[in-house]
Amino acid sequence: MVKSIIDSVTDEDVEDYQNDGVVVLRGVFKHWISTLSKGADYNVANPSPAAIIHNEESHKGRFLEDFCN
């Protein structure tokens, strides 16, 4: 059984967040990675007509900006 995210966050995590404004939750989202990767791959392969693809020769890789998919 996969623990829910809420069950994975400790009281110490909450206190750290309240004190520091940030907390590292290692492994909490590991069960989502496959689903998120598939969604990102789909969005890259199927950008909306409003998408902006930044792909300059001076930079490695590319950046897809798409708020409509």
Tell me: do 21 and 50 sit in the same domain: no
Q: Secondary structure of 36-63 in the HEC alphabet?
A: HHHHHHHHHHCCCCCCEEECCCCCCCCE
In the chain, % of residues over pLDDT 90: 35
pTM: 0.55
User: Could you list the residue range(s) of the whole structural domain that residue 68 is in?
Assistant: 32-69
Q: Average pLDDT of 8-30?
A: 92
Tell me: do 24 and 47 sit in the same domain: no
pLDDT in tens, 32-57: 899 999 998 998 898 888 888 887 77
Number of domains in the chain: 2
8 in Cβ contact with 25 (< 8 Å): yes
Q: How far apart are CA 53 and CA 37, in angstroms?
A: 19
Tell me: do 19 and 41 sit in the same domain: no
Tell me: do 18 and 36 sit in the same domain: no
